[in-house]
A and B are shown apart, each in its own frame.
Chain A
Amino acid sequence: MARRIESSLPDKISIDMTPMIDVVFQLISFFMFSLKVVAPEGDFDIRMPLGKSASATVDDQQVPPIRVKLSAGPDGSLAGIAMNGNPVADFNDLQKKVVSLVGKGRGPDSLADKTEVEMDCDYGLKYANVVRAITAVSGTVQDGQIVELIKKIKFTPPKAGK
């Protein structure tokens, strides 16, 4: 037996959307204004305990460190690069020389892992050049992949003077 259910409610219940939309727009504006566009940054790790920076550490050091000398011109620009006393044309050349010295082998016991680079920079040299030199010795980018070279980098003690 069919029975008709009679309801006094209307077919469509209309919810008042206004408060929700208000809150949602508040949220949007909050996230929009707190959005900070940051350029991606990365680090070069350097471990330099005091007292061991001047001379080569003896403990696990079978390989002599590569000495990279960066000379500055009067305005702080790069005047010359030298590796182990031999002049180097540019940072690409420096990288090639480093690769030829440590070889292609990579891994925990490879020559590249054991070798250390000591940076000897003039006081007035612009810091961007140092980062370029560190970039040259610490790795290359091949097909979007980073191939690591030397990870141990240290500085000689700062020279007094201007």
Chain B
Amino acid sequence: MPKRTAEASTTDIDMTPMIDMTFQLITFFMFVMNFSEAEQDDRIQLPMSQLAKPVDGPVEKPITLQLANNGSVIYAGEMIGLRDVGGYLEQEKSVMIDAGKEPASATVIVRADGRAKTGEVQEIIKICQEKGFEKFALRAQYDEGR
């Protein structure tokens, strides 16, 4: 029976390529990672538009209101009725006034489903206007096609 030598018991694997590759992967995922706090919801199917190019910087003080297909509004992840939006906006408004900011300077991002009724979008805008908000951003999904 052959005798085993001491070197053979510990096999030296060259780790360098693996570590290189692993760091490459880490770098890739770090750069790809999206830190933006964009509120998105799978329940909303945004309408497509070729002109809806992604904005460069984040919108200042945004309030996101999402209108679902069935006419209910998703605000801060919660599904609420269209009529209840006013109460939540009143809270937003008082928070802003406490912070010394005008509601008119805030942007209301409207993420409405493409199948939702236009009248409901307009009602949301009207409710916001009554609370003093006047800047709106209608969000659409960027359509690269054609």
Q: Is B95 on the interface with A (CB-CB < 8 A)?
A: no
Q: Nearest B residue to A17 by beta-carbon distance? A: B15
Q: Establish whether residues B140 and A48, one from each chain, have CB atoms under 8 Å apart when the complex forms.
A: no
Across the interface, B136 reaches (CB within 8 A) one of A40, A47, A125, namely A47
B30 CB contacts on chain A under 8 angstroms: 31
B52 CB contacts on chain A under 8 angstroms: 40-44, 135
Q: How many residues of A contact B (CB 8 A)?
A: 53
Interface of B is mostly: mixed
Q: How many residues of B contact A (CB 8 A)?
A: 54
Q: Establish whether residues A131 and B49, one from each chain, have CB atoms under 8 Å apart when the complex forms.
A: yes
Q: Is A4 on the interface with B (CB-CB < 8 A)?
A: no
Q: Establish whether residues A146 and B51, one from each chain, have CB atoms under 8 Å apart when the complex forms.
A: yes
Q: Is A5 on the interface with B (CB-CB < 8 A)?
A: no
Across the interface, A43 reaches (CB within 8 A) one of B22, B109, B119, namely B109
B59 CB contacts on chain A under 8 angstroms: 43
Across the interface, A40 reaches (CB within 8 A) one of B25, B67, B104, B142, namely B142
Which B residues from 84 to 118 make CB contacts under 8 A with A? 104, 109, 112-118
Q: Establish whether residues B119 and A131, one from each chain, have CB atoms under 8 Å apart when the complex forms.
A: no
Q: Would A158 and B38 be within 8 Å (CB), given that A48-B136, A131-B49, A141-B51 are in contact?
A: no
Q: Would A31 and B134 be within 8 Å (CB), given that A43-B55, A139-B51 are in contact?
A: no
Q: In whole angstroms, what is the CA distance A27 to B129 when docked?
A: 46
Q: Nearest B residue to A44 by beta-carbon distance? A: B138
Give A25-68 as 1s and 0s: 1 = Cβ < 8 Å from B's Cβ atoms: 10110011011101111111111111001000000000000000
Q: Nearest B residue to A34 by beta-carbon distance? A: B33
Q: Nearest A residue to B15 by beta-carbon distance? A: A17
Q: In whole angstroms, what is the CA distance A66 to B51 when docked?
A: 20
Q: Establish whether residues B34 and A36, one from each chain, have CB atoms under 8 Å apart when the complex forms.
A: yes
Across the interface, A42 reaches (CB within 8 A) one of B54, B117, B126, namely B54
Q: Nearest A residue to B104 by beta-carbon distance? A: A49
A3 CB contacts on chain B under 8 angstroms: none
A44 CB contacts on chain B under 8 angstroms: 49, 51-52, 137-140
Q: What 10 A-B pairs are tightest by C-beta distance, nearest first?
A: A123-B119, A42-B52, A31-B29, A128-B114, A158-B122, A43-B137, A128-B47, A131-B47, A50-B129, A49-B134
Interface residues of A (CB under 8 A from B): 14, 17, 20-21, 24-25, 27-28, 31-32, 34-36, 38-50, 53, 70, 72, 76, 121-132, 134-135, 138-139, 141, 146, 155, 157-159, 161
